Amino acid sequence: GNRLELPEVMNVGWLDKSHPYNRADVSEKMLTQLKNLIFSSGDLDIHVNLTRGIHQCDFCGEMDVVLEQNGKRKWLGSDELWIPSLKEGEYFASPSLIYHYIYNHAYCPPSDYIVSVLALDLETKFNGQEVYNRLVGKY
C-alpha cells in the first residue's frame, strides 16, 4: 500500500544494510536521554504504532533487542518513537531500533534529531500516538 506522507514528520533512522549511513560517536548523554524517553510512561509516551511482531536488526540479525533499566525491560523493534522537534509543530519518527543502531552500529542521527532528543524534558506532556492519529486524520 501507499505510505502516507506527513509533511510535519521527518523520518530518521530507518536503516538497512543495503544502504550506507552516517557513522559517528554519539554522546553518552544523548544515549542516556533516549533510553530515559523509551522507558518514560504516563504523561510522556513517545511510542507509536505498536505491533505484535518484532523487527530484527538488519545488520547483526539480532532478534531480541532488549533494553533494561531499573529492572524493567523493553523490546525494541515493534514500534516507532516520535520525538517533538524544536521546530514548532514538527516531529521526528524513528524505529525503536534506532537506539540499537546508535549503540551497536555507530549510527549517527542528524544533529536536529539529537538536539530535539536532548531538549525533551521528561516531565513534558506528550503522547506520540495521539499526535500520529491527529496528523493522519488531517490527510
Residues 6+ apart with CB under 8 A from 116: 83, 84, 85, 86, 92
pLDDT digits (tens, 9 = 90+) for 7-32: 999 999 999 999 999 999 999 999 99
Q: How confident is the model at residue 2 (pLDDT cuts 50, 70, 90)?
A: low
pLDDT above 70 covers a percentage of the chain that reads 97
Backbone phi, then psi, for 74, in 5-degree steps?
-130, 130
Q: What is the DSSP letter of 74?
A: E
Across the chain, what does the average pLDDT equal?
94
Name the 3-class secondary structure at 63. coil
> Rounded to two decimals, what is the model's pTM?
0.94
